[in-house]
Amino acid sequence: MPSIPKTMRACVLEAYGKIGFRELAVPVPAPDEALCKIRAVAICGSDPKIMAGSQAKMNWPPAFPFVLGHEWAGEVAAVGEAVTGLKPGDRVAGEGHCGCGQCENCKKGDYTVCLNYGRRELGHRHYGHRDQGANAQYNAYRAKALARMPDSLDFAAGALCDTGGAALHGVELTGVTPGGVAVIYGPGPIGLCVLGIVKSMGSDQVIMVGRGHRLQTARELGADAIVDFSREDAPARILELTGGKGADEVFECSGAPAGPHDAVHSVRKGGRVALVGLYDDSAVKPLPLHKIVNEQIKIIGSKANPNVSDRVLKMLDKGVIGWRKIVSHRFPLDRYQEGVDLFVNRRDRVVKVVMEPWA
Ligand SMILES: [Zn+2]
Ligand SMILES: [Zn+2]
């Protein structure tokens, strides 16, 4: 077994808005943890928000300096004595959430809404948010937050385990109507993953709402129709495309202030709307509650990616999720700030940026 160094290169958030690099101690895995060598870590839409300080109310991060990053894949470097089923060299992808395992929600499998959120002493972890993340050469993870990757899958694709998982969880909560119409708001990484998943589950017509180059990517990944909300009234266009009926399911993945409102106006009577974005409640356009009640519209909040990793990794491996068009950029971790700037400003046809700590 290759020896593990004492220190590692890490990208840290030094203060809100300030990225730096430090030589940190390589974590020592606890008995139920595996030390992992991080091969690829993707920038999530939430990372720039955490960096800017808009998630301070969630205590993300809990203190400075902090290592962000929760969408990653890599290799097991060492395991604690209580870990079974994983060994050094295994290729794994990580989940951001690790539940306490003991509360009512965790027992039901709903560990992304663990009732003991933030209680480290009970085993809860939220990597890259409350607990040290993957923007470094190594990190230690509780074994249950890891999923084995298919042998042939690229690490950059494995880093989409979290994103693809958030998409699959939202789809599982709403269900898909085979032969029906699905609308997706937001052709970002999650929305583009939803596209592949709902097509594979039998949606007959998938309509993507967005703007710019990402709409073209949606087209290339199989969207049957695209709607540019900057040029037309998206709900009106969707009603037109569905003969006045509206969609069976709407997936709101944009996180935009008008997203949930427009999603409700795009769904049929009795239809289902999944909210998968990260919203700023003070800015969100109010929902038409009379319509929601009168038309019995189900609105479902979907939190992260519980119990989906093994299946998502297979979907990435089989190309159901078109990760090659979603991962648009790869940089060495040293260029993190450049990656974030590109991602936030939507330059150079960016969709998803993957950083490589060992490049
Ligand atoms: Zn994420
Ligand atoms: Zn729990």
How remote is the CA of residue 45 from the centroid of ligand 1, in Å?
7
How remote is the CA of residue 127 from the centroid of ligand 2, in Å?
15
Q: Residue 134 gets which letter from DSSP?
A: S
Element (H, E) at 339: helix 336-344
Q: How far apart are CA 260 and CA 74, in angstroms?
A: 35
How remote is the CA of residue 107 from the centroid of ligand 2, in Å?
7
Whole-number pLDDT of residue 3: 86
pLDDT band at 2, cuts 50/70/90? low
Whole-number pLDDT of residue 1: 53
Query: What mean pLDDT is predicted for residues 160-183?
Result: 98
How remote is the CA of residue 162 from the centroid of ligand 1, in Å?
6
Separate counts of helices (H) and strands (E) for the chain: 12, 17
List CB-based neighbours of ion ligand 2 within 5 Å: 99-100, 103, 106, 114, 116
How remote is the CA of residue 309 from the centroid of ligand 1, in Å?
13
Query: What mean pLDDT is predicted for residues 86-96?
Result: 98
For the beta carbon of residue 268, count every other beta carbon within 10 angstroms.
20
How remote is the CA of residue 167 from the centroid of ligand 2, in Å?
22
How remote is the CA of residue 42 from the centroid of ligand 1, in Å?
8
pLDDT more than 70, % of the chain:
99
How remote is the CA of residue 277 from the centroid of ligand 2, in Å?
23
357 forms bridges with which residues in the sheet?
Answer: none
Q: How far apart are CA 180 and CA 347, in angstroms?
A: 34
Q: b/e for 25-46, b at 16 or more Cβ within 10 A?
A: ebbebeeebbbbbbbbbbbbbb
* Burial classification of residue 352, based on how many CB atoms lie within 10 Å of its CB (0-12 exposed, 13-18 middle, 19 or more buried): buried
Residue linked to tokens 């017509």 = 205
Residue range 173-204, pLDDT digits in tens? 999 999 999 999 999 999 999 999 999 999 99
Residue range 22-71, pLDDT digits in tens? 999 999 999 999 999 999 999 999 999 999 999 999 999 999 999 999 99
* Ligand of minimum distance to the alpha carbon of 144: 2
Q: Is residue 8 pLDDT above 90, yes or no?
A: yes
352 forms bridges with which residues in the sheet?
Answer: 327
- Structural domain spans, the chain: 7-160+321-356, 164-301
Q: Is residue 211 pLDDT above 60, yes or no?
A: yes
**Residue 16: helix, strand or coil by DSSP?**
coil
How remote is the CA of residue 208 from the centroid of ligand 1, in Å?
21
Query: What mean pLDDT is predicted for residues 334-359?
Result: 97
**CATH class of the domain whose range is 7-160+321-356:** alpha beta
**CATH class of the domain whose range is 164-301:** alpha beta
- Tell me if the pTM is above 0.85: yes
